[in-house]
Amino acid sequence: MGTFHRWLGIAIVVALALIALSGLLLRIAGRREAPKLFWGLQHYTENVLVVQVVTGLILLFLGRRVVGGPLVWLHYLYGSLFPLIAIVGGRIAGLRREEREYVGIAWGAFFAFGLTSRALMTGLGIGI
């Protein structure tokens, strides 16, 4: 896995964890609105995830493949399709709520965190 792709993946996993944890803490605190920092991190993470997918596709087209066991193909699903679905689903769920719209975003980030973590582990050869 390319160094840029690897470090970007780690940054995305950390950012998704922060979004999910922030959403949980905001909900526990009973906040109706999320601070601008929450939305900024969420927006930044979505954009970086798109850059990560494009970087992965470029590596794939250049012939760089994930090396490992028979389940390495899961890296491609966990790393691109599923997190994008989770984030879009979270965004839609957030838009459907009139208040506490951050809850849907936090749930989407939670699921995207799990899937992206698994993609990172598969790409690094951990737990294949």
For the chain, which residues make up each domain, given as ranges? 3-124
pTM: 0.83
CA distance 83 to 119: 10
List, for residues 22-69, the tens digit of each pLDDT value: 999 999 999 888 889 998 998 898 889 888 888 888 888 888 777 666
- The predicted pLDDT at position 15 comes to 94
CA distance 68 to 71: 8
